[in-house]
Structures are given as structure tokens and as C-alpha cells.
Amino acid sequence: MPIWNKQKECMPRADLKRFQLSGLQHLLQYIYKKVPFYKKLMSRNGSKPEAVEKLADLQHLPFTRKDDLRQNYPFNMLAVPADKLNRIHASSGTTGKPTIVGYTATDLNNWRELTARIAAAAGVTGSDTAQVAFGYGLFTGGLGMHAGLEALGAAVIPASGGNSVRQLTLMQDLQTTALVCTPSYALHLIDLIKENNLDPAADLKLKYGLFGAEPWTDQMRRYIETELNISATDNYGLSEVIGPGVCGECYVKKGMHINEDNFIVEIIDPATGKPLPSGRQGEVVITTLAKQALPLLRYRTGDISALDETTCSCGRTTARLQKILYRCDDMLIIKGVNIYPSQIEEILLSMPGLLPHYLIEASRREHTDRLTITVELKPKKSSALNNSSLAALKKQLSAQILSITGIKAELKIADTGTLQRSAGKARHIIDHRNLNQI
């Protein structure tokens, strides 16, 4: 499969590291001079821009947090005057007030290059017809992927999110070969395809699914691949850092190749802030090397994953970020035990008969934390299961959840279509304990 930019994606690692070091040195000079926030932050930390002589020196530099962007809302973290901006986006606001992000014309050109690499790694070529069902607008997913796919030469359908019946019509009439959206929305479209008695292998021309913007498991991947008869790849990004285009999977599907000529990715221990060795799980921290408008030093993403620096058989030399295990904000602490959605998703999808639609709820009754999980049955099973087989399924599921998490959960098995569907990022968690406190 073609590699979009062999020179950058297949650089010998020693050259790449040298390239990153000079990028980092340039970044430090740039932000020290152009962003008062960074001048203050670095001075407080006692770090001088010229003091970085090797990549490892990065670990002594201060972090940037989402709160810094919120406190400097909207434009105080920019390294260029606001009138030099060419585009403005915002984060989705999943965890609070959305952050505003700006791009210069050069940033937009670069962003297009990076999303083109991601799309090419997923298998898309100029002959494909790509339906972008991410929301267009302030969310970076839609316009971000759109530009890269267009650069590849694909015929891009800017369908945007929602209006699922029309999505399906477009997919059929325009013979869409690549679907670009959140994995949750792909599930929603699968529901609709089933409701309409369509057979993806015969009635659709889909070959690729490029999914991102939220965590999803390999079990979910297999489900979507089977149901849509496609190859599904994961790609990760976040608005503050650029949007989609940070990293994406190749056909090997063993981690997302990072555009390391543009980003330095570190994995740190979220509690101590200390860097962790390759392969260990921790918080993803990203430093941008080429952004003009909103350069970021050691941005703490709050996402948990691990790095793989082994060679990939696709030919790219870039390190791979493993699937995001969870975002810190999505972790529930139940009776002192950490629970996160992908743990539950893996268990649910290992059981035949269940759908990947689920909701995890935490509550507190009589000073005791409780965990309730609602999951949907596959359509045929809903009617076929009698009370005793339903009880047996619940028992089996309970035992699995207890053995993996150590927590006894209350299970609710619901009929297909009971839980709310999402055109964007799904909400898998409700913590009633926090809601009660408000």
C-alpha cells in the first residue's frame, strides 16, 4: 500500500531523532519569544530555551495542561497575532469548557499533509470515494480529515454527522468506499443497515473505515469489520495539538504510526510526571514541532496508552501509539477500584449475543458505591431468550466482570435500540455520585 510521504514516514530513526531535536530547539526559542505564557512558565521552571542539547532534556521542561488553554481563552496562547489566523476550531468540550484552537495558512497546509498520511496508511487512495460523517464545524474531525482525503485525490463526500438515513442513501447511490466517523456512529449506521435488511457485502461498496475521536477496543473493531465487510483502522488526534493527523494505523493494525517529524510523544506516569520507558502504559504527552499559531510544549492529553518503537512491517519507521486505553476523565473509581469503559467493552463483546451498545453507571446508596451496566442484546436474541437463559447470561457476565475488575456489578440486559445512539462521541459513563454533589 502506498506511503504518502516516504521521506518523512520512513526516515532512519537516528535521522528522525536529529530532526526532532532541531525542531524542539527551534520550538523553545519560538515559544519563549512569542508566547508570554511560555516565557513565564519556562522562567518559573528555571528552563532556558538554549539549554536543550539532547532529546532527553525534554523531560526537564514544564508541562502544558488543558486548563492553561482554558485560562488563556480564547487567544492568549497564540504565537501569532489573531489577524494572522486562517481558521479557528474548538475542542468538543467533552470534559468542560471547549478550548479554542487557531491555525495559520501554513498550519492548514501542514495539517492537510498529516491527515493525508493517515488516510493513505488506512488504505485510501485517489480512486476511493470517502464519506466523511464526522461533524463539520468547530470540531476538528470533519474538516481535518476532509482536507487530507482531498489531497490524496479521493472523491470526498462532506456528509457531516447525523441524518443517518441520508448517510445510507449517499453510501449506496455514490458507492462510498471509505467511511470516516467515530466508531460509535459506525455502530449506529450498522443498526440502520440491519433495519433496512441491507447486506453490506452485496449492497454497499465499502472497503475502509477510518475511525477515531473516542476510545474503542479491538473487539469493537472486529464487530464493525464483520458487520460492514471492511478493514477498520484507528486514528487519534486532539484539537489542541492539531486535530486528526497526530497518528493513525496502517494495515498491520498494531498501533498508530505517529507523525514524529511533527510531534514528540512521551508517555509519563500521570501521578509523578516522570517519563516511562517504551512499552509502559501511562499518560500521552505531546510536543508540537511545526505548529505556527498554537505551538504546545509537553501537552498533557489525559489519554492513557503506550508507545511501541519496534519496526513495523509496513515500511514506516515511526513509533506507534497503542490504542488509547481510556481518557483519565472517563475513569470511574468504584470502591477504590479503577474501572474504565474499554475494560467493560472487551468483556461484553467477548460474549456472543450482546451488542457493543452499553452504559456504565456509578451511584452511591447507603454509603456504598454501586456499578450498574446496561447492555443490549442482539435483535434475534431479544425474542429468543427466555427468563432462565437471560438469567444464565447475566450470571456469566457478572462472573466475568467480577473476575476482571474485582467489582460486582448490577447488570441490565436491554432490548436492541434501548440505549441512546450517538452521531459523534458516545457517552458510555454516567457518574450519578458526581451529579448528586452538584
Contact residues for ligand ADP, defined by CB under 6 A: 91-95, 139, 212-215, 234-239, 301, 303, 324, 327
What amino acid occupies position 134? Answer: F
Taking the complex as a whole, the smallest distance from the CB of residue 222 to ligand ADP amounts, in Å, to 16
**Smallest separation, CB 229 to ligand ADP (Å):** 22
**Contact predicate 185/133, CB 8 Å:** yes
Any contact of residue 321 with Zn ion (CB under 5 A)? no
Q: Of Zn ion, ligand ADP, none, which one sits near residue 312, judging by CB under 5 to 8 A according to partner kind?
A: Zn ion
- The set of cell numbers assigned to 215 is 476510545
Query: Is the Cβ of residue 107 or residue 303 nearer to ligand ADP in the bound state?
Result: 303
Closer residue to ligand ADP, CB minimum distance, 195 or 329: 329
Residue 92, binding choice from ligand ADP, Zn ion, none, Cβ under 5 to 8 Å by partner class:
ligand ADP
By the rule CB under 5 A, 312 interacts with Zn ion:
yes
> Which of residues 96 and 315 has its CB atom nearest to Zn ion in the complex?
315
Q: Helix, strand, or coil here: 370?
A: strand
Least distance (Å) between residue 85 CB and ligand ADP:
18
Please state at what angle helix 183-195 crosses helix 164-173, rounded to 10 degrees: 80
Query: Least distance in Å: CB of 316 to Zn ion?
Result: 5
Smallest distance, Zn ion to C-beta of residue 315, A = 7
Q: CA–CA separation, 232 vs 234, rounded Å?
A: 7
Half-sphere exposure of 6 (CA within 13 A, CB side): 5
The binder of 94, among Zn ion, ligand ADP, none, by C-beta within 5 to 8 A per type, is: ligand ADP
Are the beta carbons of 100 and 108 closer than 8 angstroms? no
Spell out the residues 6+ positions from residue 377 whose beta carbon is closer than 8 angstroms to its own: 353, 354, 355, 385, 413, 414, 415, 416
Residue (94 or 398) nearer to ligand ADP, CB: 94
Q: Please, what is the minimum distance in Å from the beta carbon of residue 214 to ligand ADP?
A: 5
If one asks whether residue 252 binds Zn ion (CB under 5 A), the answer comes out as yes
Beta-carbon count within 10 A of 150 CB: 18
Return the residue of 250, 293, 294, 347 that touches Zn ion, per CB under 5 A.
250
Residue 275 in contact with residue 59, Cβ under 8 Å?
yes
Which one, 227 or 308, has the nearer CB to Zn ion?
Answer: 308
Residue in this structure with the C-alpha cell 470515494, named with its chain if needed = 129
Nearer to Zn ion, 250 or 426 (CB): 250
Distance in angstroms between the alpha carbons of the first and the last residue of the chain: 52
Write out the H or E segment, with its range, that includes residue 5: none
For residue 362, the one-letter residue type is A
414 near Zn ion, rule: CB under 5 A: no
| CA gap 425, 421 in Å, rounded | 10
Residue 250 touches which of Zn ion, ligand ADP, none (CB < 5 to 8 A by kind)?
Zn ion
Q: Which is nearer to Zn ion, 81 or 279 (CB)?
A: 279
Which residue type, as a one-letter code, is found at position 179? L
Of the two residues 6 and 73, which places its CB atom closer to ligand ADP in the complex? 73
Q: Which does 109 bind (CB under 5 to 8 A by kind): ligand ADP, Zn ion, none?
A: none
Cβ contact 397:371 at 8 Å: no
* Residue 314 interface partner, choices ligand ADP, Zn ion, none, CB cut-off 5-8 Å depending on type: Zn ion
* CA–CA separation, 304 and 285 (whole Å): 10
Q: Which residues bind Zn ion (CB under 5 A)?
A: 250, 252, 312, 314, 316
